[in-house]
């Protein structure tokens, strides 16, 4: 075994300063070598100062060198020698104990080496690593873990955004408890993509303007929303009868008060009466009104258009017409007078042969004249409703225009 060693040398169990054998040990040396030849090794210790009174027994020697053999050597051929030495050198050792450090340790205390790169052994004296440190470790002795949000070889890599600001793993940069909002990956070094955001990128972006991605952390849209959407995250559809960009457009008059489409303002089930167009924002024109503008206006005064919803005429009807839509023709008013444009009544009664509020009913059988106020001759089979002439003949025994003469009358 190759060792760095501590030597415990018991010179002799009976040796002290008053013993004559003491001087034989003065000037001894200790070598550490990888062979049995001391010349191949390194001098670990040489006594040049001990005296018979000061040489300790036992002697403890620390040799901070690495080798396979411990060689005890004493001679009288290479001065100088300590005071009081004897001309002859004897190796009458009682006991030698060698305590060595194993590999991957260093120093007099056999401290364990740090994490040297590639598993290389550290310097057996200083503990330094000749080829640097393993990933995640730093320091001369490679005994310190990366800190300050760094990891990897020489701690040159920066940690990603670990959850709650926790440090990443000092070796591989992984995050022990996941990522901060907006980040993903083992190292939490990638921003959410594919229109996602938030913790673990589980939230879907709203409808950001021009299809842009939302902010990877909070989902906000950097340049506003697509048409029909609103809110910081553009995840809410326009309401309150609005549509379009920033919900600034007002819906038209959709059927049954339904909201229009939040993007383009179209009405899903058509328009209310009086309106037309995809957005139901145009009033009926060309003298039309009603649902889908299918109804034609009546004869409004001065050729004015009727109301686009109900077809009413704002300033009444032309002469000869009446009703809320001016589509009804006046009856036969007396002397050709114009009827009331609201209810069609004749202010001065009816003309010959008609009766009723609007003078549009022919006289009943047996009546004729203005407002049908006159009765036909009693002998008529049925008279003309205008002039009372018995145009359908007389009852038997009567004759004359009005069946007013007996047929057997003689001059």
Q: For residue range 270-285, list pLDDT tens digits in order.
A: 999 999 999 999 999 9
What pLDDT score was predicted for residue 12? Answer: 56
DSSP 3-state assignment of 329?
Answer: strand
Long-range CB contact pairs, 120-128, < 8 A, 24+ = 124/4, 124/64, 124/65, 124/66, 125/4, 125/64, 125/65
Q: For residue range 199-226, list pLDDT tens digits in order.
A: 999 999 999 999 999 999 999 999 999 9
Q: Is the pTM of this model over 0.75?
A: no
What pLDDT score was predicted for residue 4? Answer: 47
Break the chain into its structural domains and give their ranges: 3-101, 330-411
DSSP state of 138: E
Task: List CB contacts of 257: < 8 A, sequence separation 6 or more.
Answer: 272
What pLDDT score was predicted for residue 411? Answer: 39
Q: If you compute the radius of gyration of the chain from its CA atoms, what whole number of angstroms results? A: 63
What pLDDT score was predicted for residue 60? Answer: 86
Confidence band, pLDDT 50/70/90 cuts, at residue 2: very low
Is pLDDT of 14 > 70?
no
What pLDDT score was predicted for residue 62? Answer: 82
Within 10 A of 318 (CB to CB), how many other CB atoms are there?
17
Averaged pLDDT for residues 149-158: 96
Within 10 A of 329 (CB to CB), how many other CB atoms are there?
15
Q: For residue range 313-348, list pLDDT tens digits in order.
A: 999 999 889 988 999 998 899 988 889 888 899 988
Q: For residue range 37-63, list pLDDT tens digits in order.
A: 999 999 989 988 888 888 888 888 888
Q: For residue range 56-87, list pLDDT tens digits in order.
A: 888 888 887 778 899 988 888 777 777 777 78
Tokens of residue 372, six digits: 């049908």
Mean pLDDT estimate for the chain: 89
Confidence band, pLDDT 50/70/90 cuts, at residue 92: confident
What is the C-alpha to C-alpha distance for residues 266 and 268, in angstroms, rounded to an integer?
Answer: 6
Averaged pLDDT for residues 226-238: 96
Tell me which of 18-27, 286-295, 327-336, 396-405 is least confident: 18-27
Q: Which strand (E) or helix (H) includes residue 106?
A: strand 105-106
């Amino acid at each position: 075994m190759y060792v760095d060693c501590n030597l415990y040398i018991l010179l002799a169990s009976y040796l002290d300063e008053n013993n004559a054998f003491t001087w034989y040990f003065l000037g001894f040396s200790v070598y550490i070598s990888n062979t049995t030849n001391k010349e191949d090794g390194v001098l670990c210790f040489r006594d040049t100062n001990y005296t018979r009174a000061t040489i300790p027994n036992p002697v403890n020697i620390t040799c901070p060198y690495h080798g396979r053999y411990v060689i005890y050597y004493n001679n009288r051929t290479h001065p100088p020698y300590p005071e009081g030495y004897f001309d002859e050198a004897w190796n009458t050792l009682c006991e030698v104990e060698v305590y060595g450090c194993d590999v991957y340790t260093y120093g007099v205390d056999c401290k364990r080496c740090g994490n040297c790169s590639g598993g290389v052994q550290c310097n057996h004296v200083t503990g330094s690593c000749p080829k640097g440190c393993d990933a995640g470790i730093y320091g001369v002795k490679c005994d310190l873990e990366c800190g300050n949000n760094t990891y990897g070889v020489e701690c040159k890599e920066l940690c990603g955004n670990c959850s709650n600001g926790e440090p990443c793993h000092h070796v591989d940069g992984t995050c022990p408890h996941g990522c901060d909002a907006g980040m993903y990956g083992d190292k939490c070094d990638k921003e959410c993509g594919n229109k996602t955001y938030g913790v673990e990128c589980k939230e879907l972006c709203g409808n950001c303007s021009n299809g842009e991605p939302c902010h990877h952390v909070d989902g906000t849209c950097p340049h506003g929303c697509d048409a029909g959407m609103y809110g910081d995250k553009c995840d809410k559809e326009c309401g309150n009868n609005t549509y379009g960009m920033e919900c600034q457009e007002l819906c038209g008059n959709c059927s049954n008060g339904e909201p229009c489409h939040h993007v383009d303002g179209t009405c899903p089930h058509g328009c209310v009466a009086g309106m037309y167009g995809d957005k139901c924002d145009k009033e009926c024109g060309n003298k039309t009104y009603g649902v889908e503008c299918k109804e034609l206006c009546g004869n409004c005064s001065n050729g004015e258009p009727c109301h686009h919803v109900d077809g009413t005429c704002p300033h009444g009807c032309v002469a000869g017409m009446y009703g809320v839509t001016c589509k009804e023709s006046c009856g036969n008013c007396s002397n050709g007078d114009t009827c009331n444009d609201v209810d069609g009544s004749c202010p001065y009664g009816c003309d010959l042969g008609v009766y009723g509020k609007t003078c549009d009913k022919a006289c009943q059988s047996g009546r004729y004249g203005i407002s049908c106020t006159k009765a036909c001759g009693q002998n008529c089979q049925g008279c003309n409703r205008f002039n009372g002439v018995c145009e359908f003949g007389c009852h038997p025994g009567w004759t004359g225009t009005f069946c007013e003469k007996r047929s057997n009358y003689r001059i």
